[in-house]
Amino acid sequence: MSYLTKLSFQRLSFLLSVIVFIACEDPSDIGLGLQPQNVLGVAFTDTVTVTTSTVLVDSVNTTNSILLIAGQYNDAQLGLVTASSFFTLTPDTINLGSNPQFSRLELNLAYRYSYGDTTQPQTIQVHKLTNAFNQGNTYYSFSELPFDPTPVGSRTFSAKDIVDNRLIIPLEDSFRDEIANLITSTDSLTQEQLDDVVSGLVLVPQGGAAIVGFDANPIDSRRINTASALNLFYENDGEEESYNIYVRNPTVSEVVNGRRAATRFNRVTSDRSGTALADLDESYEEIDATATNNLTYIQGLLGIKTKITFPYLSEFAKLGTIAINRADLVVTPFPPIAEDFTPRPFSLEFWQLDRNERPQRIILTQTVPGQAADDPLQTISDTVIIRVQQEGLNPLGFQNELLTTFDPTPSAYTANFTSYIQFILNNDNPDYEGVNRLENNGLLISPNLNSIRANRVVIGGAQNPTNPLKLRLFYTLVESR
C-alpha cells in the first residue's frame, strides 16, 4: 500500500483540494464535457446511475406540532388533501372581579401559514372531543380521536382576508355557559377540572381550497395578541375583559411513559384515487419513477418521500483509491416554476436508510425535573432519524443535518454530498483501514420540518429527459488497482 493511501481522509482531502484549486479556481472551468481524466488527474462525471422512486412512509409523528393545521384542497398530483387538528387546553389564573357578566366565547387562532388557493372561501368547524387524549401515546398524521358530530362553532372565511393574523371563530352560547359555570365554581381552576368538562377540541374543515396553520404558542408566551386560545369575554364594572384558556403545551416535567406528554396532533390524509400515486397505500410501498412518467413526489405530512439509490457506486472502488474533490446531488423540480398557491418546500433533507431500506434511527435520552419540587428526576426518550450531515462537519453525526434550499438560478436544489460519497467509497475500498465509512443503502428525500407543513414538490426522476436528478462528481484517482 502506498504512503498516500495510508493518509487520513482529512489530510488527503486537503491536499487534493489544493491541487484542484491550483488547476482551476472554479470547478465549472473544468467543463461539464470533461473526459474521464485530465492531465492533472482530475476527472468529472454526471452519469453515475441513480435509481428513483416514490415511497410512502405513513408514520409521520405530528405529536405536539408547533402549528395547528386545518383545511382541504384538491391537488392534481396527490388528490384531495384534508387536514384536521386535535388539541387540548390549559387554564389561566382566574381573576374575574366582583360581578362578571359573560357575553361571548370565541376561539382566537394565531394565523401563521397557508397552502393552496387562499382566495376561495373555506369553512372550519370546531367540535368537542368525546374521548380524552392518552398523553403517553405518540400520535401520527393518520391518527384520530372521536368527537361530537355537532359543532360548537364555525367560521367561513378566505385566508387572504384574515385581519391582523387572527382568525376568530364564534362559539355557541351553550359552550360559553359551560366554561363560565366552570370558572365561577372555583377560585383556582386546575388542569383536571378543565379536562373533565372539555377534554379537547378538533378543527374540522368543510370544503375549501387551502390548508391553513395556526400557532400553538408555548405557555410562557401567553399574550392574547400572539397565542391561540379560547377567549371568554365578560364585563366587569363597565369594562370588557377576557378570561383565556390556551392551547396546551406540555411542560418540561410532564412526562408519560418516558415521553413528553401528548397534548395535540394533526391528522392529514389524501384520497389519491385517479392520480399517479393511486396504488401507494401501504407503508414503505414504493412506485418506480418509470411508472410515473419519470417523476417522483415529496410531501412531508402525508409521508410521501423520494427514494434514491446509487447501485453502482461501488464500481469506483474497483478503480483504486478515489478522492472525491466535490460531489453534488442536483434535484430539479418539475415544472421548474412553482404555482402561485402551492409553493415548494423551502428546504430538503436526506434520510439515511439501513440495510432493510428503513430510515436509520437512534434513541436519545435526557433527564428532566419531576413535576413537584421533591419528585425524582425523570428520563425522557426521543427518536432521531439519521440524516446526511452538513459538509465540513462529522458525516457520522446526527445533530447537523444537511439542508438544501431551492436556488432559482439553476432552478434546482443542490446538495453538497462530498464527504457522504467519500465515506461510501471508503467503505467499498478493500485497502481502506479507517473508520470514516458509511454503507451505501440509499436515501429518502424529505422536506425539512416535514411534520409541520403541507408543501409538496414533484421532481424529475433520474431518467427524466428535461429535469433529471443527477449526481455530479469531481474526483481524483489517487492510486489505481
Distance separating alpha carbons of residues 174 and 161, to the nearest angstrom: 29
Is residue 214 in a domain?
yes
Is residue 257 in a domain?
no
Q: Same structural domain for residues 33 and 85?
A: no
User: 3-state class of 194 per DSSP?
Assistant: helix
Q: Same structural domain for residues 223 and 295?
A: no
Q: Same structural domain for residues 283 and 384?
A: yes
Q: Same structural domain for residues 18 and 135?
A: no
Q: Same structural domain for residues 53 and 198?
A: no
Q: What is the pLDDT of residue 370?
A: 65
Q: Same structural domain for residues 155 and 292?
A: no
Q: Same structural domain for residues 429 and 450?
A: yes
From 199, 66, 44, select the one nearest 127 (Cα to Cα).
199
Is residue 262 in a domain?
no
Q: What is the pLDDT of residue 38?
A: 54
Q: What is the pLDDT of residue 373?
A: 58
Domain end: 206, 227, 249, which one?
A: 249
From 139, 107, 112, 140, select the one nearest 124 (Cα to Cα).
107
Distance of alpha carbon 104 from the chain centroid: 37
Give residues with Cβ within 8 angstroms of 462, minimum separation 6: 49, 50, 51, 52, 289, 294, 308, 468, 469, 470
Task: List the beta strands (DSSP E) in 164-238.
Answer: 166-170, 201-206, 210-215, 229-236
Q: Same structural domain for residues 22 and 150?
A: no
Is residue 266 in a domain?
no
Q: Same structural domain for residues 307 and 231?
A: no
Give residues with Cβ within 8 angstroms of 220, minimum separation 6: none
What total number of domains does the chain contain? 2
Is residue 122 within 8 Å of residue 210, measured between CB atoms? yes
Distance separating alpha carbons of residues 283 and 59, to the nearest angstrom: 8
Q: Domain span at residue 187?
A: 67-249
The count of C-alpha atoms lying within 13 angstroms of the C-alpha of 394, restricted to the half-sphere facing its C-beta, is: 6
Q: What is the pLDDT of residue 372?
A: 59
Q: Same structural domain for residues 50 and 124?
A: no
Is residue 44 in a domain?
yes
Distances (CA, A) of 61 to 243, 264, 382: 32, 11, 11
Q: Same structural domain for residues 53 and 139?
A: no
Distance separating alpha carbons of residues 178 and 201, to the nearest angstrom: 14
Locate cell 365554581: which residue? 185
Domain end: 199, 233, 249, which one?
A: 249
Residue pLDDT tens, the chain, 481 long:
333 333 334 433 433 333 333 333 333 333 323 345 554 578 999 999 999 999 999 789 999 999 999 999 999 889 999 999 999 999 999 988 888 999 999 999 999 999 999 999 999 999 999 999 999 899 999 999 999 999 999 999 999 999 999 999 999 999 999 999 999 999 899 999 999 999 999 999 999 999 999 998 655 444 545 689 999 999 988 889 999 999 998 877 677 766 778 999 999 999 999 999 999 988 999 999 999 999 999 999 999 999 999 999 988 888 888 999 999 999 999 986 667 788 999 999 999 999 999 999 988 877 767 665 566 677 777 788 999 999 999 999 999 999 999 998 889 999 999 999 999 999 999 889 999 999 999 999 999 977 789 999 999 999 999 999 999 999 998 888 7
Is residue 98 in a domain?
yes
Is residue 259 in a domain?
no
pTM of the model: 0.87
Q: Same structural domain for residues 225 and 185?
A: yes
Is residue 270 in a domain?
no
| Residues shown for the chain | 481
